[in-house]
Every structure is written in structure tokens, then in C-alpha cells.
Amino acid sequence: MRIMVTGGARSGKSSFAERYAASLADSGIYIATSQPFDDEMAARLALHKERRDESDFPWKTVEEPLDVAGFLLRHKPESGQAVLIDCLTLWLSNWVLRHEQDADMEKLIGERIGELAEAVRQYEGTVLLVTNEVGNGIVPEYKLGRVYRDLSGRMNQRIAEACGEVFLVTSGIPVELKRLAFWPVPRSGQERK
């Protein structure tokens, strides 16, 4: 089972994903992609970990800021276990920071996104992937911000395509989008792209 959870900042995405994982499995592996570069981020990470530790659901935390696809390809799912990856936009930020000086940054990161989408497709266990909707706001005034926003949108589309369920969480309320999706029927002679 492959599940994507998306929404804005502080929308309740992570809390929902943790509760959903606990409803699907007996234990979980929490793949943390963030890196505590400053005190504020370290405090955020501590709060997330504290929330997991205080729940009745047993979590094992694995810090993996870059090689999430490799983890999924190497990890053999155990019965009754869910993997929760939180979050893909921080994972993407890690790659952007690594390649921001490379002339072919978008191509390199596009390849990482493709590898991750394929690893998600191949994963045989339950995996939940948390991501952010960063393209709903104003257009960033600087180029790297616009490139990041565009990469994030493309990443979310690729991961959503690989998942059976996609939830949008707004104001703490999750809505499953794939059940609500509308696909126009092509006219004869045309194929849906």
C-alpha cells in the first residue's frame, strides 16, 4: 500500500500520517529527512520525535536525508510494519542544496525524483510519504526559489502517480483526492495523456 499525504505548512499532515500508519500496522519505521541546521529546526524535530515517543505506536526512527529511494529498495518489509517518510520537500531541499551550483541541477534532481518514484512503486509493504504543497503561494522572486517550487510540484505529481491513495490535509482535515479525481473522457481517436 502506497499513500501520499500533502498539504500546507502546519496543516496536520504529519499527525494524520502517523495516525493512519498506526491504523494500518503494528509498528513503524519513521524515515526523517530533515537535518537540524539551526536551533529552531532542532526544536521542531524534537517535538515531532516526542509526539511519536508518547504515542502507543512503536516507532523506530531512521535519519535519511538523501537516500530515501535506496532505503526503500534495500528494506524488506516485515508483516504488520509501515514505513513513514517525513518529509519529501525537505528531502528535495537537501538535494537542491547539494546541487545548487551545478549547471544541470534540475536534470540531476529530476533523476533523483524518478528514482524515488520507482522505488515507491516497487516497495512491497505499506509506505506513507508526507510532502508539502509549496506552489499555492506567491511566485518566489529569486530563481532558486522558483526552481525549487517547480521541482516540488513535479515531484509531488510523480509520487502521487505512484501511490494508490493521496490525501490533502487542510486545517487538520484529510481528504482522499484520488477518489474525487475527475478525468475527462477522450473523444474518439484521442488518448488520455
Catalytic residues: 48
Q: What single DSSP character describes residue 135? A: T
Bridge partner list, 84 = 30, 128
Of 55, 36, 52, 53, whose CA–CA distance to 44 is shortest? 36
Give 45-52 contacts, CB < 8 A, sequence gap 24+: 48/14, 48/86, 51/15, 51/18, 52/18
